[in-house]
Amino acid sequence: MSSEEKRVEEGLESREREIEALEVVTQEPTVEEEESAKTLPTAKESSDLHSALVDKLTQAKIAAGMKHEEYLQAQKELEETTINFMRLENNIVKTTVSTSLELLQDLGVENLEDNLKEAKEIVQDNKEELLHIKPISKGNFKAFIFGTIGALVTATGITAFGAKLAALPLNSATLLQSANLETIATKLADLIKIKDTPIAGYLLIGAISFLVGLFIYSLVKFLQKKKNIKYVNSLESDVEAYEEQLNEKIEKSKELTEHLDHIKLVMQKYDIILQEQNAKIRRMQFIEQPEEGVNSLQRASQIEVEKTVLILDELLKLMNTDVNNNLEISEESKEQLHAANSIINEVIKKLYV
């Protein structure tokens, strides 16, 4: 083979190698390569413990605040219902009940005033305060102060030790003289086998003081972090207990509100029916002119008077029964409400039979 042919053949081989290399570079990744690329670790931001604790603290504040708002709303509704209840009760006593008593007394019915007592007071529960959640601190400032104090104390201690090595008196005058400080620094440098070099002594004091200060700084930060973690973890159970306590009071407040609304409705029924009975008694007095009281009325009129006494008696029993003790509805109030409601409903039912 001639030299010319060899050069041509070498050129062809070189060209083939370039083409193969180009194919390798431009070749699409295989499935295995793609899966391998997916499993490569990605850069992640380091979790900030303090930020996480602050987030939990904020969530606790929001949860406690929302529950307290719900509690205050339930208390507000109860207060409004209580005010309206007492206004209605006082109004019925001063108007309808008072009129019934006068009319019945005119007819000679006795012992009615003994049943009339002062309007009862609805005992309100002491309002719960919002759960106090104190903020947490990274402790940077406190750690800096303690670290600085530790570094200064360490520097003072090392300097005092150096003064003792140099046989110098331990007083402020010694430390205020630069010559004495150089002597102390030189003695300290001798401890690390560096002779007659005060700079090394100064560096030794600075390095040890810095390390001690840094250690104290880190220790205070670490203790503050543990304190924050403990506080936030305990706060979760505190918030849970606080919410359970408020949930119980919210439920009882709503039950008492519904109970008062029911009593109001029943009292309104009695008020309307009793006003009608008062009108009947006025009619009897005007038409029948009973000179000897109720006994001189017609039998039908006497029945109406007895009916009025029954209605008035049940209404006064309902009004005189204590409704609650704090947020607990009394059993007597429940029983009297049920009895009063049954009687007035029966009276109303007979009106349309």
- Cβ 259 vs Cβ 323: under 8 Å: yes
C-alpha 255: how far from chain center: 22
Amino acid 164: pLDDT: 81
pTM: 0.66
State which residues of the chain have pLDDT below 70: 1-47, 112-127, 174-176, 196
pLDDT score recorded for residue 121: 59
Residue 221 contacts residue 143 (beta carbons within 8 Å): yes
pLDDT (tens digit, 9 = 90+) per residue, 3-49? 544 554 555 455 455 444 434 333 444 444 444 333 333 323 324 77
Burial of 37 (0-12, 13-18, 19+ CB in 10 A): exposed
How many Å separate Cα 19 from the centre of its chain?
73
Q: What is the pLDDT of residues 114-164, one digit of tens each?
A: 555 555 556 566 667 777 778 878 888 898 999 999 999 998 888 888 888
Determine the residue type at 200.
A
Residue 117 pLDDT: 58
Q: Give residue 259's pLDDT.
A: 94
- What is the pLDDT, as a whole number, of residue 333? 92
Q: Are 224 and 137 in contact (CB under 8 A)?
A: yes
